[in-house]
A = this chain, B = another copy of it.
């Protein structure tokens, strides 16, 4: 039997939008939305069934059982400190980088409810396949947050802080750094008046292959082939952007070592 919770969402940004709507769709009741600016809170509440919009963090009279902090990393501790809730309430933040401890001085039933995804306002994301990483101080809280997670996603995991840090480092490589490789690629093309969109189909297929066959197996290119003539030629052309040349050199060397 499913269990439905009464929830307050603290925040009205991208994570708040996606979580609030997914949780309501799953049958939970969003009692309150807290937003510093009432207008953005009301915008979100309009998408929901029956939700109060508040701009005070004194939520001692809220019906909610779980208070989800969907706010930026820098604000979590400050908001946790100001937040007043009923004694039985659970407070969970949604950050991949902040430890559980940022909540512990101010609340007892604390946890993390971290969806491993990047959200943009207005672009629907199917949460069902998004991993949700759970951590909690008490087992009962962990159980509640896991149940909540399973109501919106089929991928719910208990991930303790040390592993969450490793996940974050891995995400920096897989997302931030690979995205930066696209930025450099675009800038190289732009400086030669070639349109970046020419590479779009190749990029999409490269990522598809990496995720199906594994990136180690699907690698191609001059460094993988140890084609030193091509690498030298490329380094020569890249002299006009020494910082890109440095990156090309380091990554080619690392790639060659990796496959030797």
Contact = CB atoms under 8 A, between A and B. Distances in A.
Q: How many monomers of this chain does the complex have?
A: 2
Nearest to A203: B174
Given A178-B178, A215-B182, A216-B183, A172 B247 contact: no
B118 A206 contact: yes
B199 A116 contact: yes
A250 interface: yes
A198 to B, nearest CB: 5
A206 B119 CA distance: 10
Interface stretch (A26-34, A141-149, A229-237): A229-237
Contacts of A1: none
Nearest to A155: B198
Interface stretch (A5-13, A38-46, A251-259): A251-259
Contacts of A207: 178-179, 182, 203-204, 207
A163 B175 contact: no
B194 A163 contact: yes
A173 B167 contact: no
B199 A174 contact: yes
A218 B179 contact: yes
Interface of A: 97, 116-118, 120, 125, 129-131, 155, 157, 163, 165-189, 192, 194, 196, 198-207, 209-211, 214-216, 218-224, 230, 233-234, 237-238, 243-244, 246-248, 250-251, 254-255, 257-258
29 contacts: A97-B222, A97-B230, A116-B202, A117-B201, A117-B205, A118-B202, A131-B198, A131-B201, A157-B198, A165-B234, A168-B234, A169-B237, A169-B238, A170-B189, A170-B194, A172-B248, A173-B185, A176-B221, A176-B223, A180-B251, A180-B254, A180-B255, A180-B258, A183-B258, A186-B216, A187-B216, A203-B207, A246-B250, A250-B250
